[in-house]
Structure 1
């Protein structure tokens, strides 16, 4: 079994979150969902567990960050083209996301948005023609 990552994020409204991520074209894994959680499938090995805030809080003794007022993490998703970066960011803004910002470094292009709960998402494309050469020691 390949290594997978499950990112857990607190949310206020599962239906609102489902609508937002469905608009971006992501699917869901019903086997990991219940009345307190929703599992967004980003890829074959990347999943985002959206947990209602009280349920999320039950997994830790630390205070839960309010992503609307503090940055707790930036979640970056790579895509295949600059156009896909723009499509996803524009769709996110049309679907309840806010605060778009772009960075164009020539070989890398990205746009950041905040989802309806304030979590920062970045869609990023990197020109494959500018990949670093492998270290000569390899």
Structure 2
């Protein structure tokens, strides 16, 4: 089975571990070092948070300037409520609002910035209703 490792720069691996633990994600010490921590999002999906001293070792170009959005990390949720709950936990633990929630009936999404400014989108979709609305193909 394939594994996914999302690598992101952070000011402090310990602060990032505390933030993601408050959201319900567990650290994985197997991939941790003095300047990197590993957060388990799902069984085979991990976020590696790197302090500046380690982050520079990953780059072959300049890092994105502070205050810009280089990418959006998107997570699925099992319900609208789970979307809102995760964002509420993020906001209560040092995250900030990124944009307004979007509600199209068959899909719902909301987002937040983590304490280091990375954008996380959380969305739920009723696949059958989305297919019926013509927004996606028929479920497999």
Compute the TM-score of the two structures, normalised by the length of structure 2.
0.89
Compute the TM-score of the two structures, normalised by the length of structure 1.
0.90
Alignment: residue pair count: 133
Deviations along 1:69-98, whole A, 9 cap, x unmatched? 000100000010100000000110010001
Once the two structures are TM-superposed, the CA of residue 129 in structure 1 deviates from its matched residue by 2.9
CA distance in 2, matches of 1:77, 1:103: 15
- 1:71 is matched with which residue: 69, 72, 75? 69
CA distance in 2, matches of 1:3, 1:91: 29
Q: Which structure 2 residues correspond to residues 86-101 of structure 1 after superposition, within 5 A?
A: 86-100=84-98, 101=100
Matched, 1:51 2:56: no
CA distance in 1, matches of 2:14, 2:3: 25
Q: Which structure 2 residues correspond to residues 123-134 of structure 1 after superposition, within 5 A?
A: 123-130=122-129, 131=131, 132-133=137-138
Please list every run of 5 or more consecutive structure 2 residues that lacks an aligned counterpart in the other structure. Answer: 132-136
Secondary structure of the structure 1 residue equivalent to 2:42? coil
Once the two structures are TM-superposed, the CA of residue 134 in structure 1 deviates from its matched residue by 5.5
Q: Which residue of 2 aligns with 1:25?
A: 24
CA distance in 2, matches of 1:59, 1:86: 33
Matched, 1:34 2:43: no
CA distance in 2, matches of 1:111, 1:121: 9
Alpha carbons 2:128, 2:139 under 8 Å: kept: no
CA distance in 1, matches of 2:4, 2:21: 20
